Amino acid sequence: MDDLQAEKILILDFGSQYTQLIARRIREIGVFSEIRAWDISAEELREYNPRGVILSGGPESVTEGATAPRAPDALFDVGVPLLGICYGMQTMATQLGGQVSTSDVREFGYAQVTVEGESELLCDIADHIGPNGEKSLDVWMSHGDKVVSMPQGFEHTLSTASCPIAGMADEARRYYGIQFHPEVTHTAQGEKIFEHFVRQICCCEARWTSAAIIEDQIARVRSQVGDSHVLLGLSGGVDSSVVAALLHRAIGDQLTCVFVDNGLLRKNEGNMVMDMFAQNMGVRVIRVNAQKQFLDQLRGVDDPEKKRKIIGNTFIDVFDAESNKIDNVRFLAQGTIYPDVIESAASKTGKAHVIKSHHNVGGLPDDMALELVEPLRELFKDEVRKIGVELGLPKDMVYRHPFPGPGLGVRILGDVKEAYADVLREADAIFIEELHASGWYQKTSQAFAVFLPVQSVGVVGDGRRYAWVIALRAVETIDFMTARWAHLPYELLERVSGRIINEIADVSRVTYDISSKPPATIEWE
């Protein structure tokens, strides 16, 4: 059962915004990889027993001396291959006796690096071959510092005009450094470079596939749960849906899902969840209609953080009450995924800043006295989606945009009222329908309508209409930490606005949000 993770790659995080991407790229090749902070202890490192270690980039400068993050000395004693990327290469160089200095020229963005020598990491790859056979690669650079003198044992493998040592290798120890970022898609040969490192140099087999992950998780869940009963809060989002499908396959009727309709869901969401899971798949789902309870609790509250807390707490109350009606429950399943685990580790160590309290990251309270089952805990979102498809969930459902736990509660600005939610549901459904029809749904990462509780004058037919305003929001993002507003075609916006104003009597005006994150956030509250 442990075989899937027997050969794994450790990524030491020096704070680069791309660290998670490195782990995803390695897993796409079929090898399990995990991220740990750069200050991992020697003991933990040995216990982890990786086949190879990648040192990520980072925002600091090794020239700052004692205050700069550095790899544990034990890393150079464990005898496994190392790949240093950007800062990772620089700290490897200084720790092994080389030198780094701050460059006059910062390289940021596209660059072409010339291949200078033979290296197992870079063998058989080139984006361009010159008249004399000289090879070069198109890569993504982002650095100020550079290695100016290599440690003993290293050969020079890559260069650019402003960075003569853009790559180095010690083939005997199997230590490699590259100044550019192979994890970003702009580096054309990035995947090949990682493949060379994990498959050829670290000798890992490609075992980490969707089918194998599912088999592995089914076996783990069965052995954890035995013949006890498991409860799952099913929201209709991707993560909890994939957990439901996975657990249903693993333990069948020992799973009961509770679906809470809080009155803040999208149009038809409740029926869709019941059709898919209860009718089609035969999963036991209890639907709780708690609209009134939620709306009563929210009445008169207009502060976003208070609304989040109320929605989170009410969810717990409702869920608690339902779970008490079911006998013999010992486990609670949750759709926690790997980025949640990384994020909560970062917030525990004080490395992250809380802008909004995303209530479902914290999970349910400890006093529920249930043990947790978290079969997606080690997976990235794209892996969760692939597993969902493999488990037979419809692609439309698995590739849906994310929907926040508090739902429409944070998309109705200020005081939440049922009538506002009804208007918003209709407007949102029109927007999403048109995005699908025009092919823009897949091109955006998240899109939705927002209800603005201000009234505006319009004229419809011969009459004056004094009604609400709807804002449309659509963004493109990779990690939801930063986002660009989507440049939707004017014709599409025109059609959506026309339909919303014509089909919903209570709306007189539609606006499009052209703020990026930062400084705006994706949700309006």
Q: Which helix (H) or strand (E) holds 423?
A: helix 418-438
Q: Which of residues 331-360 bind ligand XMP (CB under 6 A)?
A: 355-356, 358-360
Would you count residue 404 as binding ligand XMP (CB under 6 A)? yes
Q: How far is the CB of 116 from ligand XMP (least distance, A)?
A: 43
Distant-in-sequence contacts of 43-51, Cβ < 8 A, 24+ apart:
45/10, 45/72, 45/74, 45/75, 45/78, 46/74, 46/78, 48/8, 48/10, 50/8, 50/9, 50/10, 50/80, 51/7, 51/8, 51/9, 51/80, 51/81, 51/198, 51/202, 51/203, 51/204
> What does the block give as tokens for 355?
């802008």
Nearer to ligand XMP among residue 238 and residue 276 (C-beta): 238
Binding residue for ligand XMP (CB under 6 A) from 333, 406, 424, 431?
A: 406
Site for ligand XMP in 409-428 (CB under 6 A): 410
Which residue out of 181, 196, 248, 359 is catalytically annotated? 181
Question: Toward ligand XMP, which CB reaches closer, 114 or 446?
Answer: 446
Q: Which is nearer to ligand XMP, 93 or 475 (CB)?
A: 475
Stretch in the footprint of ligand XMP (CB under 6 A) among 62-70, 182-190, 246-254, 514-522? 514-522
Considering the complex, what minimum distance in angstroms separates the CB of residue 236 from ligand XMP?
A: 13
**Region of 141-149, 343-351, 405-413, 497-505 interacting with ligand XMP (CB under 6 A):** 405-413
Please confirm, yes or no, whether 181 is among the known catalytic residues. Answer: yes
Annotation marks residue 86 as catalytic: yes
Minimum CB distance to ligand XMP, residue 268 (Å): 19
The Cα–Cα gap between 78 and 44 comes to: 12
Residues that contact ligand XMP, how many (by CB under 6 A): 17
CA–CA gap between residue 65 and residue 158 (Å, rounded): 26
Site string for ligand XMP, 39-78 (x = CB under 6 A): ----------------------------------------
User: Using an 8 Å Cβ cutoff, are 329 and 323 in contact?
Assistant: yes
Rounding to the nearest 10 degrees, give the CA dihedral for residues 378, 192, 141, 474.
-50
Q: Least distance to ligand XMP from the beta carbon of 374, Å?
A: 16
Nearest approach in angstroms of CB 22 to ligand XMP is: 22
DSSP β-bridge partners for residue 452: 469
Among 405, 413, 447, 508, binds ligand XMP (CB under 6 A): 405
Q: Which of residues 183-242 bind ligand XMP (CB under 6 A)?
A: none
Closer to ligand XMP by Cβ: residue 167 or 406: 406
- By CB under 6 A, the residues from 293 to 312 that bind ligand XMP are 308
Contact stretch for ligand XMP (CB under 6 A) within 7-15, 42-50, 73-81, 516-524 = 516-524
Of 34, 60, 86, 116, catalytic: 86
Cα of first residue to Cα of last residue in the chain, in angstroms, is 44
Q: Which residues pair with 102 in a beta bridge?
A: 145
Minimum CB separation of residue 404 from ligand XMP in Å reads 3
Residues between 446 and 505 that touch ligand XMP (CB under 6 A): 446, 480
Q: Is 287 exposed, middle or buried (0-12, 13-18, 19+ CB in 10 A)?
A: middle
Cβ pair 512, 431 in contact under 8 A: no
DSSP-based three-state secondary structure for 124: coil
Q: 356 vs 495, which CB is nearer to ligand XMP?
A: 356
**Crossing angle between the packed helical segments 291-298 and 304-323, to the nearest 10 degrees:** 150
Distance CA 370, CA 225 (A): 12
Place of tokens 């949000």: 513
Structure tokens at 130: 């010159």
Q: Is 425 helix (H, G, I), strand (E, B) or coil?
A: helix
Q: Which of 152, 244, 523, 163 is nearest to 359 (CA)?
A: 523
Nearer to ligand XMP, 339 or 458 (CB): 339
> Which position among 59, 252, 394, 402 is part of the footprint of ligand XMP (CB under 6 A)?
402
Find, among 201, 196, 154, 242, the residue nearest to 25 by Cα.
196
Q: Which residues bind ligand XMP (CB under 6 A)?
A: 308, 355-356, 358-360, 402, 404-406, 410, 446, 480, 517, 521-523
Active site residues: 86, 181, 183
